[in-house]
Amino acid sequence: MDERRRRFRLYAWGVLAYNVLVILWGGFVRASGSGAGCGSHWPLCNGVAVPRDAATATLIEFAHRITSGLALFSVVGLIVWAFRVYPRGHRVRKGAAVGMGLMVLEALIGAGLVLLQYVAYNVSVARGYWMAAHLFNTFLLLAALTLTAWWASGGGVPRFRRGGSLGIALAIALGSTLILGVSGAVTALGDTLAIGGGIDPATEPIVAALVGLRVIHPLLALAVGVGVAVAVVLGRKAGPMARVFGLGVLSLYLVNLAIGLVNVRLMAPVGVQIFHLLTTDLIWIGLVLFTAAALGEPALDRRMHSA
């Protein structure tokens, strides 16, 4: 690997790590009820470029906008660098291009949440759908950035059709984890409204429905965990990298289940919510890496020879 590609590889992993931090800060904005800190203005904050003598909520939201803007520029740098270092049609170029598209969509969804005032303690069915779409796109963005970094490191492209039962199990694990993530985002919204906003579920049916997900979400997590465990067991012979990623995913999943129980027990304190979000993001990234390692061309070749 030449020096330019080595530096790009490090940069790609750095972009992924930075975007995880931005996601965590976004979670803090939601959990702390600071989403309306800049009013309904976007990209300005309360009608100005830089707020002065701002309240705490404004500073929190403004900081999120700054870090999100830097995340956008980091992905712009990723795609420009990828097109300079890799030839036409290379998988790294494609990964960076998909990441760029998803990052733009991420920014548009964020702007829509602000302009439509689906922030802070707003109670509406539409906000739930927007939150679900936001999490769905965020997971896809993380997957694109993860694969871009993985391919820049020499990893192969996962081939689900050639993977047989393992390919089916991993497709189910990825899809169900994505659904679980959306469920978690909507459940967290219910906690924000009921606990942070003090909105009584007895008088607000939408909040009552969101709070009701506290029961459904853990049960869904257990079911998805079984599916992930099956995929990890099936992929145990796919090579050392796959085994490492698989064990890492299972370990994080067990930790996350425990954090989820603590979160419910303690009535969703902000710090526990953010830690829960961190482990969720790491599980998703680990599952994407496990899939790429287990279903990449070299891994598939090893499985076929050992069968």
pLDDT of residue 297: 67
Q: Which residues of the chain fall short of a pLDDT of 70? A: 1, 297-307
Orientation angle between helical segments 205-234 and 240-265, nearest 10 degrees: 150
> Cα(275)–Cα(273) distance, rounded to whole angstroms?
5
Q: Minimal CA–CA distance to 22: which of 194, 126, 145, 123?
A: 145
Burial 123-133 (b: 16+ CB within 10 A, else e): beeebbebbbb
> pLDDT tens digit string along 190-200?
888 888 888 98
- For residue 58, the SS3 value is helix
pLDDT, position 76? 98
What percentage of the chain's residues is helix, strand, coil (to nearest 5)?
Answer: 80, 0, 20
Asked if 170 and 291 touch (Cβ cutoff 8 Å), the reply is yes
Report the share of the chain in percent with pLDDT over 70. 96
Find the largest Cα–Cα distance for the chain. 68
Helices (H) and strands (E) in the chain, counts: 9, 0
CA distance 37 to 183: 26
pLDDT at 180: 96
Cβ(163)–Cβ(287) under 8 Å? no
How many other CB atoms are found less than 10 A from the CB of residue 224? 22
Q: Got the DSSP string for 150-178?
A: HHHTTPPPP-TGGGHHHHHHHHHHHHHHH
| Tokens found for residue 186 | 């909507």
Element (H, E) at 206: helix 205-234
pLDDT of res. 53 = 73
At 1 the pLDDT is 57
* 110/65 Cα distance (integer angstroms): 9
In terms of C-beta distances under 8 Å and separation of at least 24 residues, what long-range contacts does 105-110 make, across chains too? 105/137, 106/134, 106/137, 106/138, 106/141, 107/68, 107/72, 109/133, 109/134, 109/137, 110/68, 110/134
